[in-house]
Structure 1
Amino acid sequence: MKAGANERVYKMSFARVYPHYIAKAEKKGRTKEEVDEIIFWLTGYNENDLKRILEDKTNFEDFYNNAPRFNPNASLITGVICGYRVENIEEPLMQKLRYLDKLIDELAKGKPMEKILRK
């Protein structure tokens, strides 16, 4: 991805994309709670944090840079999302963003939560 395109994504509010994550999951019979569980596992945020992030329209850059505890097992997330292998994305912030995309994709494809959460 070009740097300019990345910057546009980083400045986008998480609240703008969050409903799409939920819709993608629910369309395939999964739940908002499962989407939230994935977000909490990946970032270390909790329910109150997420509520504040959505209300404040926190952008993706701040969402990831201020994550309380980015999961060390995130490096176990592999595969292709949006035409890119997540494990080969060199830009750290974009990689974190694509990790979440990949996990939501796995949820929508019916993978069990213990596999999604790399347990």
Structure 2
Amino acid sequence: MLSWRFIFIVDIPVGLLAIILGFLCIPLLKPTSPSAKLDIPGILLLFITLASLIFGLNTITGPNASHGIIALVLAVIFCFLFLVRQKRSAEPLMDLSLFKNRAYSFQNADILILQLGLAGVNSSCPFIWRL
């Protein structure tokens, strides 16, 4: 008798079919600007920001809460440095001028609130429905 894990074998042919159809149907696009370069300092600042944020949120309630607070402060500092870098970079990772459009800004705020609500529901349901 097969284990329940074998139900996921059906994903293999579906995934292979999707890859093949993707190569056949999706046209290859040439880069619009051949001089585009990666913003390595921006990538590093974003990485440090996100790593500090995740570490801080995971450790702020533990026995080493001071480490979590320090990590969150570092996340705020590096987020500020990342935003400054993006404003001054010739090839930014994130085009901050998009946020001048009110509709774009409100839509992003709306999605943020929606995702926070979904995350809150998903993380609290196991505690509410404990059996």
Higher normalized contact order (CA 8 Å, seq sep 6+, divided by chain length): 1
**Larger Cα-atom Rg:** 2
Pairwise TM-score range, normalised by the shorter structure? under 0.3
Give the TM-score normalised by structure 1.
0.22
Give the TM-score normalised by structure 2.
0.20
Higher helix fraction (1 or 2): 2
